[in-house]
């Protein structure tokens, strides 16, 4: 999937205000960590995650996405009535229905003609939504698209901890829910448009994707519980990433391009390090936000992009690779010319 006329015009993000350290979580689990013979400093030593963020109690995913959207529209410098489609990509949900997109649409007061819907594909949804929006822009269906994501990990972590504290909890049950403790919170939004409307924008060139859905039951998440076969998921994910990277080289000549940054889904240190090694990507070109923010689901890649850009680590003319993967398994790799 290659785009000729799609650009990123603006971005906005919001960090959740409460820093929850891995040490404070482990302190609540210390009895069972000792009972199972696990090492101290378990979360940080295995994942590199020192902390994650929580919203205030009662803050909903749509609230986070709305705050980020206001900032993205300000960054883009366009009035809200120009938005032709709003796509929400949040894994976290306010309700089963209506959609998060409908809630954000209402919060922002967008025009009634603006399409709004959710796209769900685990941690890959934001990249999928960028592709959908890009197609709509390229076909002339809309001039401007707003892609949003609001994630909140407070509820699932706070519901999981008491079960893991139980004196009779089994070790397998404990291990299967360990990844839940790495989840973070945040909000991010992106405005995309036709390149003729944004000569100062950043070209979204599209990318490639692959599926390995025979692995679709390695991570199963619900509102208050998530189970993960972490080791199998890691190995299956690395294999799919390698296959997707080969596809990017074949179809979009990635092996001939000099990328300034490789922005990967922010799961943890082992995942990023092994992925960089298997793809032969320089470690210094892989930015990391997970040590302080944890795994923020589909918000991870756009959050990392926004923070890297804010810090001046990418400049006009730099190529940036997005390397996303989500439970399912599905993988996508996409390119932006900054």
The whole-angstrom separation of Cα 201 and Cα 198 is 5
CA atoms within 13 A on the CB side of 106: 7
Write down how long the chain is: 338
Q: Hey, what's the torsion of the CAs at 18, 23, 26, 27, to 10 degrees?
A: -100
The whole-angstrom separation of Cα 290 and Cα 308 is 13
How many Cβ atoms sit within 10 Å of the Cβ of residue 205?
A: 18
The whole-angstrom separation of Cα 283 and Cα 185 is 25
SS3 per residue for 263-313: EECCCCHHHHHHHHHHHCCCHHHCCCCHHHHCECHHHHHHHHHHHHHHCCC
Q: Which positions are catalytic? A: 97, 123
Secondary element (H or E) of residue 35: helix 22-35
Q: Is the dihedral of CA 146, 330, 181, 228 positive or negative?
A: positive
């Amino acid at each position: 999937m290659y785009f000729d006329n799609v650009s990123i015009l603006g971005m906005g993000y919001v960090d959740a205000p409460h820093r929850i350290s891995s040490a404070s979580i482990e302190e609540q689990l210390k009895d069972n960590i000792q009972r199972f013979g696990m090492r101290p400093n378990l979360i940080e030593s295995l994942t590199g995650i020192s902390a994650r963020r929580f919203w205030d109690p009662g803050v909903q995913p749509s609230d986070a996405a709305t705050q980020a959207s206001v900032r993205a529209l300000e960054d883009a410098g366009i009035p809200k009535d120009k938005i032709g489609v709003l796509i929400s990509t949040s894994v976290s949900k306010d309700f089963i229905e209506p959609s998060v997109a409908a809630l954000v649409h209402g919060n922002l007061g967008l025009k009634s003609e603006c399409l709004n819907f959710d796209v769900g594909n685990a941690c890959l949804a934001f990249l999928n939504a960028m592709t959908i929006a890009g197609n709509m822009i390229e076909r002339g269906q809309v001039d401007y698209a707003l892609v949003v994501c609001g994630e909140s990990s407070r509820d699932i972590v706070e519901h999981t901890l008491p079960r893991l504290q139980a004196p009779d909890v089994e070790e397998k049950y404990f291990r299967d829910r360990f990844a839940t403790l790495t989840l973070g919170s945040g909000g991010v939004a992106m405005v995309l448009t036709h390149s003729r409307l944004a000569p100062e924008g950043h070209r979204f060139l599209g990318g490639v994707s692959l599926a390995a859905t025979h692995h679709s039951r390695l991570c199963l998440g619900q509102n208050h519980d998530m189970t993960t076969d972490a080791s199998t998921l890691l190995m299956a994910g690395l294999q799919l990433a390698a296959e997707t990277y080969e596809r990017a080289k074949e179809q979009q000549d990635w092996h001939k391009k000099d990328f300034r940054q490789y922005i990967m889904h922010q799961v943890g240190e082992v995942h990023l390090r092994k992925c960089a090694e298997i793809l032969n990507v320089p470690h210094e070109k892989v930015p990391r936000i997970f040590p302080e923010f944890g795994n923020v689901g589909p918000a991870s890649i756009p959050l990392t992009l926004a923070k890297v850009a804010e810090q001046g680590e990418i400049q006009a003319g730099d190529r940036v690779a997005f390397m996303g993967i989500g439970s399912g398994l599905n993988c996508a790799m996409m390119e932006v010319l900054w």
